[in-house]
Amino acid sequence: MRSVDEHLAHCLRDLVPLPAVEIPLPEAAGCVLALDVVSGIDMPRFDNSSMDGYAVRAAEVEAATEGRPVTLPVLGDIPAGRGDALELAPGTTLRIMTGAPMPAGADAVVQVEWTDGGTEQVRIHCPSPSGKNIRRSGEDVREGETVLTAGTLLTARHIALAASVGVDRLTVHPRPRVVVMPSGSELVPPGKPLAPGQIHDSNGYALVAAANAAGARARHGGIMTDTPEAVGSMLEEATRDADLVITTGGVSAGAYDTVKAVLRELGTVEFTPVAMQPGKPQGFGTIKGVPLFTLPGNPVSALLSFEVFVAPALRRLAGRPDVTRELPSATVVEGWRSPPGRRQFARCLLTITAGGPTVRPVGGQGSHLVADLAGANCLVIVPEETTAVSEGDELPYIVLESGS
Ligand SMILES: Nc1nc2c(c(=O)[nH]1)N[C@H]1C(S)=C(S)[C@@H](COP(=O)(O)OP(=O)(O)OC[C@H]3O[C@@H](n4cnc5c(N)ncnc54)[C@H](O)[C@@H]3O)O[C@H]1N2
Ligand code: MOO
């Protein structure tokens, strides 16, 4: 049987980041930058005030105290956005707002709280040393400086910086487009009544949510009923606008495992048991050049297989540097059993305590137990050779739906 690591390496082997595209700035959060961003301006662009107050020559207010305030005539106002070149005449002041350009000749700002707030003339009762309350041109970013480097996973902070230097489009690796297609004639969408023998499709919905949480743009491609015609045409249709296709079900040993039968004729998908629990029946390959994962149908197995194999593949397509990750460890506070020779992904509840992270198993470990899965927030990884997990063991874990 293939090991988990071997299967992951096999799935990732031929995947490369999606070709870079230029997109509008507001759409770029969550994408990986493909081209450096160089600033065309200094930031701040000009010396400006960091306080609402009065622009002064520091030397003229040096002696100001509560008891002996310095009084200066106020010759005008500088609101933020005022662009004409102003000069501060000696022995005077100009009222200035936060973000407004400093007038020539002024070398400090006295914040309004340290004055009587006058508009004709102002009494200043505190000195403001030279440079006080001034934000200097270029102290944040210099014109020509590289402010964002290729490979950065863009978040709100990076969008703020790009916008600040005036960039409205970024060249990024796009979010992978994912189509999820569950298979099984027993499946009915939620919201529709169930006839005898039928169940609601949960995998389609769960995997769209998981793929979106992992940074993809996912859609449900519809339920494939167990006929070769339906499966074949829906799979081909899905490849038209997908960077990755996920199917669930129909891949074990059942007499109606149509996905397996159809894919043997179409594309390069290889079906293989993987030494893991749950999630043993796995398949991966391409169809019309589009990578395709066939995940097992049991809902827990499907979602867990997504975390273990599909999420890294999506990170590779998205150009992320962290395709595989160093996993954190937690202390087990209640033991459980694990099958020999298989890597177990145990549904657990992770709690961050003062003594560090701890984990305990949640409910049963059957791969149909969706309610217990919903109560878990991590998968604890039990090595292949371990058959009993004991209190006090330190084991690695994957946080479920931690986002991208
Ligand atoms: N003789 C064997 N039988 C099975 C084996 C095996 O090795 N030999 N493996 C078992 C394991 S482990 C798993 S996992 C499943 C995988 O089977 P399939 O991938 O072929 O999945 P199905 O048979 O189609 O479905 C399994 C189970 O999950 C339910 N299901 C399927 N799709 C959905 C969905 N979209 N939403 C909710 N539930 C779904 C389905 O009704 C079945 O109950 O095979 C075991 N059997
Ligand atoms: O391996 Mo299956 O995926 O346990 O239920």
Helix/strand/coil (H, E, C) string of 144-163? CCEEECCCCECCHHHHHHHH
User: pLDDT, tens digit, for every residue of 251-272?
Assistant: 877 666 788 888 888 889 999 9
The CB density around residue 209, as the number of other CB atoms within 10 Å, is 14
Q: Would you state the pLDDT for residue 267? A: 86
- Residue 280 Cβ inside 6 Å of ligand 2? The answer reads yes
Using the predicted structure, report yes or no on whether residue 402 has a pLDDT greater than 80.
no
From the CA of 310, how far away is ligand 1's center (Å)? 18
> Whose atoms come closest to the Cα of 366: which ligand?
2
| Mean pLDDT in residue range 153-163 | 97
Four-CA torsion 47, 49, 54, 59, nearest 10 degrees: -50
| ipTM at complex level | 0.96
Look up the pTM and report it. Answer: 0.89
Domain 21-43+139-173, what fold? Molybdopterin biosynthesis moea protein, domain 2 (3.90.105)
CATH architecture of 329-399: Beta Barrel (2.40)
Q: Would you state the pLDDT for residue 255? A: 67
Non-local CB neighbours of 118 within 8 Å, separated by 6+ positions: 74
Structure tokens at 350: 């992770």
CA distance 268 to 263: 8
Helix (H, G, I), strand (E, B) or coil at 213: helix
Q: Would you state the pLDDT for residue 44? A: 97
Question: Within 13 A of 74's CA, how many CA atoms are on the CB side?
Answer: 19
Q: Whose CA is nearest to atom 8 of ligand 1?
A: 253
Backbone angles phi, psi at 337, to 5 degrees: -105, 155
> Whose atoms come closest to the Cα of 204: which ligand?
1
Give percent above pLDDT 90 in the chain.
Answer: 89
The atom of ligand 2 lying closest to the CA of 301 is: 3
- Residue 250 Cβ inside 6 Å of ligand 1? The answer reads yes
Catalogue the E-assigned strands of 278-353: 281-287, 290-295, 329-332, 336-337, 343-353
Using the predicted structure, report yes or no on whether residue 87 has a pLDDT greater than 60.
yes
Question: Within 13 A of 383's CA, how many CA atoms are on the CB side?
Answer: 5
Contact indicator for 208, 180 with CB cutoff of 8 Å: yes
Q: β-pairing, 244-248 with 177-182?
A: parallel
- Residue 296 Cβ inside 6 Å of ligand 2? The answer reads yes
CA distance 252 to 83: 72
User: pLDDT, tens digit, for every residue of 12-32?
Assistant: 999 999 999 999 999 999 999
Helix (H, G, I), strand (E, B) or coil at 203: helix
- DSSP β-bridge partners for residue 344: 277, 382
Using the predicted structure, report yes or no on whether residue 404 has a pLDDT greater than 80.
no
Using the predicted structure, report yes or no on whether residue 289 has a pLDDT greater than 70.
yes
| CA-based nearest residue to 177, from 314, 306, 294, 305 | 314
From the CA of 203, how far away is ligand 1's center (Å)? 11
User: pLDDT, tens digit, for every residue of 89-102?
Assistant: 999 999 999 999 99
| CA-based nearest residue to 173, from 317, 38, 29 | 317
Using the predicted structure, report yes or no on whether residue 302 has a pLDDT greater than 70.
yes
Non-local CB neighbours of 94 within 8 Å, separated by 6+ positions: 54, 55, 74, 75, 76, 77, 78, 86, 88, 103, 106
CATH of domain 4-18+175-317: 3.40.980.10
Structure tokens at 120: 């004709």
The CB density around residue 363, as the number of other CB atoms within 10 Å, is 14
**Binning pLDDT at 50, 70 and 90, where does residue 364 land?**
confident
| Mean pLDDT in residue range 306-329 | 95
From the CA of 400, how far away is ligand 1's center (Å)? 22
Q: Where are the domains of the chain?
A: 4-18+175-317, 21-43+139-173, 48-135, 329-399
**Binning pLDDT at 50, 70 and 90, where does residue 55 land?**
very high
Amino acid in position 22: E
Catalogue the E-assigned strands of 297-342: 329-332, 336-337
CATH of domain 48-135: 2.170.190.11
Give percent above pLDDT 70 in the chain.
Answer: 98
Cα of first residue to Cα of last residue in the chain, in angstroms, is 31
Contact indicator for 244, 293 with CB cutoff of 8 Å: yes
From the CA of 298, how far away is ligand 1's center (Å)? 5
- Residue 184 Cβ inside 6 Å of ligand 1? The answer reads yes
From the CA of 296, how far away is ligand 1's center (Å)? 6
Backbone angles phi, psi at 75, to 5 degrees: -95, 0
Structure tokens at 254: 């059942």
Using the predicted structure, report yes or no on whether residue 226 has a pLDDT greater than 90.
no
CA distance 179 to 219: 5
- Residue 174 Cβ inside 6 Å of ligand 1? The answer reads no
